[in-house]
Amino acid sequence: MRKGTAPPQPPEAVARFRFYPIVIAAYPYPLPRQRLQLMSYHWIRQLHIATVAFSIAFFTLRYYWMLIHSQRENQRWVRLLSVANDTVLLFAGIALALLTRQYPLAAPWLSAKLVGLLAYIVLGTLALKRARTRPVRILTGLLALVSAGYIVSVALTRTPTPWVILTF
């Protein structure tokens, strides 16, 4: 082979690139294993997003029930549904971290999400169960919703300080 010439290509590889103006790789399609990982990532991400939306909406509903002194707040199915959703949410989050190989201590935005999640759990527990007075329950419930908003904004911007990006 002479210097400066491309190595010979099999005819099927040449035919495959016939409609592509720029050839980036020798095999333009993901390998079957990579395709499976991409599909898994997509579906797990969609599950994670759906359970996050349900978790925030259901917390807001439970918070409203607490404010109006509804008996639905104390029913067993409410607690079970919340625990089941949060369990699926946790497993989906762990699966996403493992698939993307982004771990909380290595990725600052993921660490910020984890700290925000801990704040959301503590404040939500105080708002719905543990706080003794109504004003403290109202305040901790609002702060839990603020921390949920922080978690979502960190996830969307992938930075621990999303207000910098969102305000400018």
* pLDDT per residue of the chain (168 residues) written in tens, 0 to 9: 556 666 555 545 444 444 444 444 444 555 556 666 677 888 999 999 999 999 999 999 999 999 999 999 889 999 999 999 999 999 999 988 888 888 888 889 999 999 999 999 999 999 999 899 999 999 999 999 999 999 999 999 999 999 888 776
Same domain as 42, residue 97: yes
**Total domain count, the chain:** 2
Same domain as 79, residue 119: no
What does residue 26 show for φ and ψ, rounded to 5 degrees?
-70, -30
d(CA 81, CA 58): 9
Single out the residue in 74, 101, 128 at which a domain terminates.
101
Q: Report residue 34 CA to chain centroid gap.
A: 21
In a domain, 132, yes or no: yes
Single out the residue in 101, 122, 146 at which a domain terminates.
101
What does residue 125 show for φ and ψ, rounded to 5 degrees?
-65, -40
Crossing angle of helices 76-100 and 32-67, rounded to 10°: 150
Single out the residue in 55, 84, 101 at which a domain terminates.
101
Place of tokens 């990006």: 165
In a domain, 74, yes or no: yes
In a domain, 167, yes or no: yes
Same domain as 91, residue 108: no
In a domain, 1, yes or no: no
Same domain as 44, residue 97: yes
In the chain, which residue ranges form alpha helices assigned H by DSSP?
A: 11-16, 32-67, 76-100, 108-125, 134-157, 162-167
- Report pTM: 0.74
Residues shown for the chain: 168
Rg of the chain taking only CA atoms, in angstroms: 24
Identify the CA nearest to 97 among candidates 85, 83, 109.
Answer: 109
Same domain as 112, residue 161: yes
Same domain as 87, residue 117: no
Full residue range of the structural domain in which residue 54 is found: 31-101
Same domain as 142, residue 90: no
